Every structure is written in C-alpha cells, then in structure tokens.
Structure 1
Amino acid sequence: MHNVGVYLGWKAVRLILLLFAVSLVSFILVSNSPIDPVQAYIGADMMRVSPEQRLQITEYWGLDRPPMERFIHWGTALLRGDMGTSMIYRLPVTEVIKERFMSSVLLMSTAWMLSGIIGFLAGIIAAVKRDTWIDRLIKWYCYTLASTPAFWMGLLLLIVFSVWLGWFPIGLGVPVGVLSEHVTWGERIYHMILPALTLSVVGISTMALHTRQKLIDVLSSEYVLFAKARGERGFRLIIRHGLRNTALPAVSVQFTAFSELFGGAVLTEQVYSYPGLGQATIEAGLRGDVPLLLGIVLFSTLFVFTGNFVADLLYRWVDPRFREGRAL
C-alpha cells in the first residue's frame, strides 16, 4: 500500500511539472510567433480600424503587457479554474474545448477501437502464418502505413471515396445548411466514417507489429512447447496460450497510442474540415489565440498523460514484478 501511495504521488508531481513545462514552452513559442494577434483578431476589417481602436483592443486583451506578466496573470487565473476567453470564438476556453472535444471524442474513440481490433487480428494472422506470403503482405502494409502521414492518407481517401465514387461527403461534420439541432445521429456518423477510417488505417501498424512479435515469442516459449507435447494443437493452442499472453500487453500498447491519435486527429480534422478539437488547434495557432491554444495544449497533455498512465497501470497488473514493488 505504501508503494502504491509513493507511485501515485510521483505521478501527480510529474503531471504538475509536465503541465507547467508544456504551458511555459507553448507560451514562449506563441509570444515569439510572427503572427500579429490583433490583426488576426480584427480580420478583414483591419483597414477600417483606427490606431486608437487597435490600441484599445491591445489593452483589452492585455497584449501591451510584458510576456512574463501575461503568463503569470494567466497562470494565476488558471489556478482559480479560469482558462480565459477565446479571442476567436469570444467564449470561455473551457466551453470551446468542451464543445469541440465532444465532436472529436466519437471520432477518436471509433478510430482507436478500429485500429486496435484490426491491428490485433492482423498481428495474430501474421504470427500464425509466419514467413508466408500473408505474413510478408501484412508486414509490408504495416511498414508502409507507419511512414504515411495522416493528412496524405486523408486526401487519398477523400479523392477516391468522395470525389471519384461519391460514396461519402466531401467534408464537414454535418450536412451543409442544416441547423445543429436538426442533425440526426445517422448523419453525424455518415460524415464521420472517412475521418475515422483515415485515423484507424494509419494507426493499425503499431498494434499489428507488436502483436505479431509478442505472439511469435509466446509460441516459441517452453510452456507452449510443453503444451504441444501434451497434444494441444491449432486454434485451441492459440486461444489458451497465445491470446492470453498477448491481449493485455496489446491493450497497454494501444493506450500509449493516445499521443499519435491526437496528433493524427489534428491533421485529419483539418483535411475533412471536421469541427473538432484538432481543427480548433490549427485555428488558434494560425490566428494567435493564446488563451485557446494554451487551454488545448494543457488539455491534450492531460489526455495523453492519462493514456500513458492507464497503460502503465495495465503493465503493473500484467507483470507480477510490478505488483511486488521491485520495478518501481
């Protein structure tokens, strides 16, 4: 019990230090960006805004203060639970993140489950059919996709299935000209299919290659050789000894893919003009929306940390050495 408390305490300290470091580095990078936040805020009406109005806008958003003073002011407000107001949407940052994340969570969760299930099955088939043409085909597929950018895959699927075949809409998360309250769940899922397929296709390779190697090691172990000597063969042997020893490590690996999932979602949502958290990240960066960008950075950091933390817990559950406290 003491080891568990120490472990959770260190994790909490690491999370706090990570959030501070990420927010500080992000603020420095945004402050030194060549993008003028006032000009991005005004937009096309820049020529009709007087110097006095521009000065008032600068003072209103606190852009006339030194960068460190602005960072301390933002950090103090964050400790009170206030993440600031978005310059683009004129709404509290928490509301923007909540609304956009609800659009992204279905997309990312669907892609996460598809990539995990398909990758796990592909890895099992490759291991069982080791050194055959099926194994070589799956490895070629995985190595090719591992080096394929998500935005390029999105453009390719968009051209084939939307432009050429016309099976899916060109983009957006809902039909054009329809109010959000009139959009059905079927229409939302229909618009989500191609973005989710893009994310899942790119994310298959890691799971498949890991499962293949893990299952090959298991099938070459002494206890599997002993099981074969007792007469166990075929599918029963794979189920009893192979899947039990590869399933939980595979789940752990899938949880560690949260960072790749979020990074892929940023590019994929931009390609499909999908109104999620990834597209909001691009808009905040290009238009100098410092409060929104910092809020998304902190949220994404917490999101990725949670995935890695769950993966770490699963490893400790699977490996008895962790439970005994020898690997803390």
Structure 2
Amino acid sequence: MYKFIIRRLLIFIPMLLGLTIIVFALIQAAPGDTFSGRMVDPKIDPKVYEEQRKALGLDDPIYVQYWHWLTNVAKGDLGQSYTYNGRSVTELIGDRIGNTLNLGLFSLIITLIVSIPIGIYSAKKPYSLLDYGATTFGFFGLAVPNFFFGLVAIYILSITLGWFPSQGSVSTPGLTGMELFFDKLHHLVLPGLTLGLAGTAAYMRYMRSEVLDVLGKDFIRTARAKGMTERNVLYKHTLRNAMIPIITLMGFEIGSLLSGAIITEGVFQYPGLGTLFIRSIGSRDYPVIMAINLLLGFFILLGNLLADIFYSIVDPRIRYD
C-alpha cells in the first residue's frame, strides 16, 4: 500500500499543474479585467488605469503572466487583492477558510450521523413506514435546491420561531472560550443543515442500497448459518462491505462541500470563502478568484487520494501492489 501512496502522490503533482493551467486559462477567457469591471471615476484620466494595468503586469503576454503567477504560488504567494486595499490573497483566505472548513465539517458530521443509521434501518426493514418516509425525504433532498431550502429554513426557524440566527458566524465580538464555541455552533446549525441536505439524502439512499445488496450475499447467509448473532452479521460483515461506496462519496464530498458552501454562505451571509468568492467575482478580483478555485480543486484531488487510501483499510481484499 505504501508504494501505491507514493505513486498517487507523484501523480498528484502533474494533476495540480494541470489544474493551475485550467484555472488560469478560464480567468483569461473571462471578458474584461479588474479595472474595466469597477466603477471608473470619470474624473480620472484613463491613462492612470492603463498605467496600473502595466504595473500589475496585465499587459504582458499570457504565458509570462502564467509563469509569474505559477512561480509565486509555488512560493506560497497567492498575490495581492485588487479590491481589498491591496491586502494579500493569502491573508484574505486565511481569515475566512476556518469558517468554511468548520461549516463543511459540521455539515459532514450531520450527514453521517443522520444518513448512515437511517440507511441501515431502511435496509433491515424494507417497505416499512420509516423506509417509505426515508425514501420520500431522499427524493425531497435531491430535488430541492440548497438556496431554496436555506430561505425556507431562515423564514421558519429564524424569523418565525426565532430558534437560530439567520446570518453571520458570531452574535457579538469579544466572546471567548466555551461561550464563543457554542455561539459559533449556534450559527452553524442552519447553514450546516442546508449544505448537508443533498448529501444526507444521497448517503441514505446509497447506504440502503448497499446494505440490501450485501445482506443477500452468500457469505452473510453462511455467517448466519454458523450461529453468528445478527448484530455481528450487520456490523462486522455487512457494514464494512457496504461502506466502500460511502467512502467514495466522502472523497468527493470534501471538495463538493467547500464548493457548495459558496451558495449556502451567500444565502446566510456567512463570512467564509463563499462570500469572499462571490464578492470577488462582482469586482473581478482575479487573484482572489484564481486562488479560491485552485484551493477547491486541491481539496477535490486530496479527497480522491484519501478515498483510494481508505479503500484498502475498509476492505482487506483491495490491494494496490
């Protein structure tokens, strides 16, 4: 397995390089530039903006711009923001990535806690009342857009009932310790439920399908015939085999949660990478846009790598020699 991990890490490098090319090419294909997307003061001579473009290297050939950007990224320098008073992109992302990671982790925990037990129970008792209810919820979660569910959740749980805050990550500045922890957790509930809705529905359906499939295998019937308890059959044999597609989903979920948080954070005005990304698009702050896209792509590649590694841990039949 160690050889496989080394091979995957070596493949990781050219894949990251290809990702940088795609991200840079998409930005270059966008119409206009940072200055043409801003509200230009008619009192300022247009030559001033041309001088700024030249100072930032926006008039250089595309391959020169790409090489400068790539070498800076390799050094850990993601550039300077054009619209946030010249702040470094690394600083902007560093201030917000913690909130986005907390939101993604909270959403993933809710997804796993809710979907896996319900999926197992639905498979053990198919066509029961709970199974029909879980199926209905699954179709509902896959069909309803996250932003619409978020707006409904804000209206019912925040405005009408007043149970949860509708925006932000903290109630008041200056909180510390456990008070800050629980306040942030309180703000995470609504966006976490919204972000995890589709994932919960998908995990639940996959879990039900896989457990039903494994329960019909010959080795499960053999284990029961040997007198093994139903609990051991379920958790020692069935669940371990049924978890393989769930691990596949979790690998993709790392990147999809962060990318899906863009819309969710916009709905709840949650101060994470999503709101920063949306504002940067509106002002055509290309260094910030490229950095966030690169970061999302990196997490997707990392998730796939982790999924491949966990395959061999969950299922001993899988080897990468």
Q: TM-score normalised to the size of structure 2?
A: 0.88
Deviation per CA, 1:65-105: give whole Å up to 9, x if none.
23332112211222333221122322222222222111111
AA matched with 2:100: S
AA matched with 2:115: G
CA distance in 1, matches of 2:192, 2:82: 30
AA matched with 1:95: E
Deviation per CA, 1:165-206: give whole Å up to 9, x if none.
22222212233xx44677933322222211111112221022
CA distance in 1, matches of 2:98, 2:314: 32
Larger CA deviation: 180-189 vs 102-111: 180-189
Question: Unaligned regions of 5+ residues in structure 1, if any?
Answer: none
CA distance in 1, matches of 2:235, 2:76: 49
AA matched with 2:103: L
- The alpha-carbon deviation at position 24 of structure 1 amounts to 2.0
Matched, 1:8 2:9: no
Alignment of structure 1 residues 155-304 onto 2, 5 Å: 155-175=151-171, 178-179=172-173, 184-232=180-228, 234-235=230-231, 237-247=233-243, 250-304=246-300
- The alpha-carbon deviation at position 248 of structure 1 amounts to 6.0
AA matched with 2:47: E
Q: 1:20 aligns with which of 17, 20, 26?
A: 17
Distance 1:161 1:221, change over 3 A: same
Question: Unaligned regions of 5+ residues in structure 2, if any?
Answer: none
CA distance in 2, matches of 1:128, 1:273: 41
AA matched with 1:15: F
Query: Is the contact made by 1:168 and 1:190 (CA closer than 8 Å) also made in structure 2?
Result: yes
Matched, 1:64 2:59: yes
Matched, 1:50 2:42: no
Aligned to 2:121: 125
Aligned to 2:71: 76
Query: Is the contact made by 1:252 and 1:314 (CA closer than 8 Å) also made in structure 2?
Result: no
Deviation per CA, 1:26-67: give whole Å up to 9, x if none.
222222323541144x54x63343323322322232222233
AA matched with 1:173: S
CA distance in 1, matches of 2:136, 2:127: 12
AA matched with 1:196: G
Query: Is the contact made by 1:35 and 1:286 (CA closer than 8 Å) also made in structure 2?
Result: no
AA matched with 2:266: Q
